[in-house]
Amino acid sequence: MSQLILTLSCPVRIGVVATISSFLANAGCNIHDSSQFTDVQNNRFFMRLSFVSEQGRTREELDEAFRAEIAGSDIVHSFHDLNEKMKVVIMVSRFGHCLNDLLYRWRIGALPIDIAAVISNHMDYQKVVVNHDIPFHCIKVTKENKTQAEAEQMKIVRDTGAELVVLARYMQVLSDEMCTKMSGRIINIHHSFLPSFKGANPYKQAFDRGVKLIGATSHYVTADLDEGPIIEQDTVRVTHAQSANDYVSLGRDVESQVLARAIHAHIHRRVFISGDKTVVFPASPNEYVSERMG
């Protein structure tokens, strides 16, 4: 039986949980995991349920029945089948640690996605991508051709049917237009020093200031650059004994982990955008199980 997911949000009111649970019970569905949260600040209720249909009903059938059940209401919902892997386009420049980490997790099934293409503005990772039987597209970006380059990138996204774009250390600023078109569907990774240490070599800046924690932040991309809703963060402790190059190496590892966790949460429909923030529910049982160990 397929593992199905129901996600929904609506203005806060009484009886939503009862409506959902009654519908699933009457439809012959067995709930395995349920998470809910009321965002008082934004007056919004969020819910995610993981369940199976004991009667073998598909997500399309359940969606049609649920729409009839809640007709006229302001509930925003979506059914998902976790057997249907999300199509993803990865974009990368010259730092390959996040890309290589994602390729490994994808290869062993720890990150159950369908990598539809990799786009880069350099040729550095063509061979490693093609060796994974993944289409590689090198699109050079300059001040003069930026509009045309983004049009080519968006064409690849459309043609592949990608639902998510991952910026795995892609070092080009996306236009406001692209950010708006792909709102909630582009995930980025950056060092957590922003906005404290901007510009070139942020780890060297942090080293010179003697910081004791370095880390990374993964967030949805908006027109406000690195100010989008945060999905995942982590840190690693450093001491006076570490060098600036140590900072870079430690930062590289935490960036890879944080980006992978953010993608994992997104593809399993655990992330909801609420204003400028996110609601990120915990993983359901067995979500971290890999097809292979290595």
Question: What is the CATH number for 10?
Answer: 3.30.70.260
Residue range of the domain that includes 32: 3-81
pLDDT, averaged per 10 consecutive residues of the chain (294 residues), comes to 93 95 97 97 97 95 96 96 96 97 97 98 98 98 95 98 98 93 95 77 90 94 87 95 94 97 98 96 92 71
173 part of a folded domain: yes
160 CA to centre of own chain: 18
The answer on 217 and 114 residing in a single domain is yes
- Identify whether residues 216 and 125 lie together within a single domain: yes
The span from the CA of 161 to the CA of 193, in Å, is 34
Looking at the structure, tell me whether residues 102 and 238 fall in a common domain.
Answer: yes
Residues 76 and 208 in one domain: no
The total number of structural domains that make up the chain: 2
Give the domain-ending residue among 81, 98, 123.
81
Q: Dihedral through CA 94, CA 99, CA 101, CA 103, nearest 10?
A: -140
The single residue of 33, 63, 114, 226 carrying the catalytic annotation is 226
CA dihedral 120, 102, 5, 36 (to 10 degrees): -100
State pTM to two decimals: 0.95
Instruction: Decide if 226 is catalytic.
Output: yes
Co-location of 53 and 181 in the same domain: no
Same domain, 132 and 111: yes
The answer on 39 and 171 residing in a single domain is no
Whether the upstream peptide bond of residue 195 has omega within 30° of 0, thus cis, is yes
Question: Are both 158 and 190 inside the same structural domain?
Answer: yes
